[in-house]
Structure 1
Amino acid sequence: MNAIALKLALPKGAHHYWQVMCERTKSAGGFTVTDIHKSSNGVTRAAVWIYVQGCLAQGFVEKVGAKAARSSIFKVTTPRRDAPKIHAVDGLMGRRRQQLWTAIRAMPNFQLRELAVAASVEEVEISYGTAQRFIWQLRDAGMVELLDDGGKNAPSTFRLKRKANTGPLAPRIFDARVVFDPNAQKIVGEAIASEVLS
């Protein structure tokens, strides 16, 4: 398999949304969800809408008008450097990944069903399938190693590689859209990544 260099643009997150919201408020008197979405790589319009609605509910922005029936105009009420933390943006899958990561870091080795139980809390239960998908993604990335494949009737045992234990925040999983030119054998343009939410 030939290796191909890939220039990747990761999705812009809450810090970027907030910067654009503040800039548009200063330069144009306000912004729409579409304004923010168009300036953000690889994120859905819904993700931006959730962030803006969270800011609205917490008083960081206010509605000042509308361009059309479904295109509200907002403005930042109190500009500040740090983006407000709106927890809804992270979503349920973000919480599940964080719980799995915390459990993985605490366990010297683990089996998938054991991990799902250890990572579950009363508010958010982790299924076997969710644990399996996350571990396979980390294994594909070289962060988790298989210690024992378990055979036909026994579960496999995994371990987080020491060099992959870089800190308490869970890895985020991205898919990338690319345009590949088979004639030139190269990626054309910049790949746009979007976060996997399930």
Structure 2
Amino acid sequence: MAKTTTRKPVHLEAQGPKGDRQSMWEIMRKLHKGGEPITVRDVWMLGAEWAPKGRVRDYMAGLVAAGYLRPIEGAPGPSVQYELVKDCGLDAPRVRKDGTEVTQGRGREQMWRTIKIIGEFTSQDLARAASTPDFPVAEKTANEYCVMLAGAGYLQTVRAGRPGRFARYRLITSRWTGPRAPMIQRLKQVFDPNTGEVVYTRHGRDGGGDA
């Protein structure tokens, strides 16, 4: 039976512009919630028609290898049908074709989540609080992230840094744009994936930072 594209329930849809992986994952969850099998063709047509079908196939292979999807044995039809057996929530699992986790950007995600709950902090505080046993965050990484977020207007500088003293920051509550961490791009600019906008570009030595 042909499937039609309809507006996804809000609990199945991430806000803001999405990459291929996120769009594919949302379609898989939608099909699963509707009691329908998941196929490469359906995911491609309903959620990632602008991407090569091979990219959909590779991502689904990675989800199978990582234990998120499982082929349905004896399913009718020429296409392999899958079921979602591990639903980790709204954000798409970041896996390679072999099922191993993509760790690029993990530290940034951990810092963004931590910033929302930590209150006032220095970059040193943030590095400690955001680190996990499997993925520690370096103080240098936290410092650069704080400087860029302050320059972009996400953080208020409560106390400027100076030699021997770390700057202190606080999240500006109204600037929490969503759960997806703002990214520092190679051109020293901040891109917010929640809004799809470049919100700040650093020129020279703009901004403060830790001593």
TM-score by length of 1: 0.51
Deviations 1:13-60 (A, max 9, x none): 33336749x8xxxxxx856xx99988249xxx6x98355322355373
Alpha-carbon shift at residue 124 of structure 1 (Å): 1.7
1:122 equivalent to 2:133? Answer yes
Which position in structure 2 is the counterpart of 1:12?
Answer: 20
Name the counterpart of 2:81. Answer: 76
Partner of 1:87: 93
Q: CA deviation at 1:172?
A: 4.0
Q: Which residue of 2 aligns with 1:96?
A: 107
Deviation string for 1:122-170 (max 9, x for gaps)?
2221101221232233223311122222223321111111212466x34
Are residues 151 and 15 of structure 1, via their aligned partners in 2, closer, same or farther at CA, if it must alter by over 3 Å? same
Distance, in Å, in 1 between the alignment partners of 2:156 and 2:167 is 11
- Which SS does the other structure have where 2:158 is aligned? strand
Structure 1 unaligned spans of 5+: 1-7, 23-28, 63-73, 177-191, 194-198
Count of aligned positions? 149
1: CA distance between counterparts of 2:19 and 2:125?
A: 33
Task: Note if contact 2:111-2:142 (Cα within 8 Å) is conserved in structure 1.
Answer: yes
Gaps of 5+ in 2: 1-15, 32-38, 72-78, 96-100, 187-195, 198-211
Give the alignment's TM-score, normalised by structure 2: 0.49
Contact 2:156 2:169 survives alignment (8 Å): yes
The CA deviation at 1:76 is 3.5
- Paired amino acid for 2:82: T
1:53 pairs with 46, 52, 62, which one?
62
Shift of 1:113: 1.2
CA distance in 2 between counterparts of 1:18 and 1:105 reads 25
What one-letter code is carried by the residue in structure 2 that aligns with 1:173?
M
Matched with 1:138 is 149
- What amino acid sits opposite 1:92 in the alignment? T
| CA-based RMSD | 4.6
